[in-house]
């Protein structure tokens, strides 16, 4: 592992183990899908990670499957509990904060909008307010979503200066979290030279996600049990990317904020534009890799409003961080579906995740040598 990190540390656009080794990191949402992957990656790079999250709410859950590698990570609490959040920050004494904790599901937000606002908006405010008293703090990365933008469905990729919006409660809650974060940056953290940036990504896939109302987990559950997958909006287009792509972007953002706290206030992390694909296309490719599965395609009329087209422009991240997506759509879907298939055959989740992390680092090295 040390030799591998030494090889990739010199690369532009890749999180570096030498930076993260020994850093005290507060990671909210550490029991979730992305949080579990990020916990493992940080631990592999030698960071001292403190968690802040609810218990994992899926069965199975990647957090539970990886727990043996993260026995030191405690911090189960509700981000809506102001006192509990303040106590967690006091215990962690963070140098860097990566805020992933959220109610992340669009349809769940329709069912319970108030809980979504309490978690995504008030919870973010609770965290930022507690961090005002963290003496060693240097960098804060607030994770929102590609859905923060006002979406007129023009087919144009969003840039960071586009207006915020939110037709549905989930999107609006994340746009509101952006405003809260900007207010705290300007009012409190800028004067302390603490860097704070919001990062926007969406439609992340990868092994180990078992949440409801997400395309790939729903497909795996249906196909494993011999049921057809019901697809509401097969023509909806999204910026699909492997989970390691935005996580690398979040880590790069924190590293740069540490050195230059005002380098950027908000960044998009999305795939190359050719990775934008319809739900139906993604499912066809996923089924081909998985080896079986039936689908029933709807006409888009079922369920509440969701955007028809979403795409992000990551040009600013490329210019400032050297960020470039490493895996195309075929690689992303292939690795994801093979993860689930191999896990169902008995391969441990930790081994599968580490294999993908190593492969991602190797992809960076190959890209650098080729360029």
pLDDT value of residue 68: 46
* DSSP codes, 30-87: TTSHHHHHHHHHHHHTT-EEEEEBPPP-SSS-HHHHHGGG-TT---B--TT-HHHHHH
Range of the domain at 29: 2-370
Let me know if 10 is exposed, middle or buried by CB neighbors in 10 A (0-12, 13-18, 19+). Answer: exposed
The neighbouring-strand residues paired with 149 are: 164
Cα separation, 80 vs 118, whole angstroms: 6
- CA 155, 159, 160, 161: dihedral to nearest 10 degrees? -90
Which residues does the chain have with pLDDT short of 70?
1-12, 68-74, 274-275, 299-308, 364-371
pLDDT value of residue 67: 78
- Indicate the number of domains in the chain: 1
Enumerate the H helices of the chain as residue ranges: 2-8, 17-20, 33-44, 62-66, 82-92, 106-111, 113-117, 123-131, 169-184, 215-224, 244-259, 279-290, 315-321, 329-344, 349-370
Q: 219: which DSSP letter?
A: H
Residue from 232, 231, 329 nearest 276 by CA: 329
Contacts of 32 (CB under 8 A, 6+ apart): 53, 56, 63, 100, 101, 104
The answer to whether the beta carbons of residues 258 and 195 sit under 8 Å apart is yes
pLDDT value of residue 216: 95
CATH number of the structural domain spanning residue 251: 3.40.50.720
pLDDT value of residue 317: 96
pLDDT value of residue 368: 55
Contacts of 354 (CB under 8 A, 6+ apart): 40, 44
Cα separation, 139 vs 150, whole angstroms: 28
Cα separation, 273 vs 46, whole angstroms: 34
pLDDT value of residue 93: 97
pLDDT, tens digit (0-9, with 9 covering 90-100), for 118-161: 999 999 999 999 999 999 999 999 999 999 999 887 878 999 99
Strands 229-231 and 237-239, bridge-based pairing: unpaired
pLDDT value of residue 362: 85
């Amino acid at each position: 592992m040390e030799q591998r990190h030494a090889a990739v540390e010199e690369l532009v656009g890749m999180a570096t183990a030498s930076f993260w080794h020994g850093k005290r990191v507060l990671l909210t949402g550490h029991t979730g899908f992305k949080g579990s992957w990020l916990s493992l990656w940080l631990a592999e790079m030698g960071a001292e990670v403190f968690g802040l999250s609810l218990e994992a709410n899926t069965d199975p859950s990647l957090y539970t499957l990886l727990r043996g590698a993260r026995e030191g990570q405690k911090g189960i609490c509700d981000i809506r509990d102001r006192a509990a959040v303040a106590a967690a920050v006091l215990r962690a004494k963070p140098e860097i904060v990566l805020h992933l904790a959220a109610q992340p599901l669009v349809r769940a937000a329709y069912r319970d909008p108030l809980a979504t606002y309490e978690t995504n908006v008030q919870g973010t405010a609770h965290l930022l307010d507690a961090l005002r008293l963290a003496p060693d703090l240097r960098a804060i990365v607030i994770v929102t979503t590609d859905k923060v933008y006002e979406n007129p469905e023009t087919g144009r990729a969003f840039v960071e200066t586009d207006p915020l919006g939110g037709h549905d409660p989930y999107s609006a809650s994340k746009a509101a979290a952006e405003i809260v974060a900007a207010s705290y940056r300007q009012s409190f953290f800028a004067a302390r030279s603490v860097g704070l940036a919001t990062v926007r990504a969406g439609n992340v896939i990868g092994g180990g996600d078992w949440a409801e109302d997400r395309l790939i987990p729903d497909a795996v559950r249906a196909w494993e049990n011999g049921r057809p997958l019901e697809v509401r909006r097969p023509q909806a287009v999204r910026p699909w990317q492997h989970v390691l792509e935005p996580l690398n972007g979040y880590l790069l953002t924190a590293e740069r904020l540490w050195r230059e706290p005002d380098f950027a206030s908000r960044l998009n992390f999305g795939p190359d534009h050719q990775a934008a694909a319809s739900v139906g296309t993604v499912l066809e490719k996923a089924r081909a890799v998985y080896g079986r599965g039936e689908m029933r395609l709807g006409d888009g009329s079922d369920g509440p409003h969701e955007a028809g087209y979403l795409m992000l422009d990551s040009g600013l991240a490329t210019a400032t961080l050297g960020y470039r997506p490493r895996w195309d759509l075929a690689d992303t879907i292939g690795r994801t579906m093979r993860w689930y298939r191999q896990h169902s055959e008995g391969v441990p989740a930790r081994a599968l995740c580490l294999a993908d992390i190593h492969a991602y680092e190797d992809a960076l090295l190959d890209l650098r040598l080729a360029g």
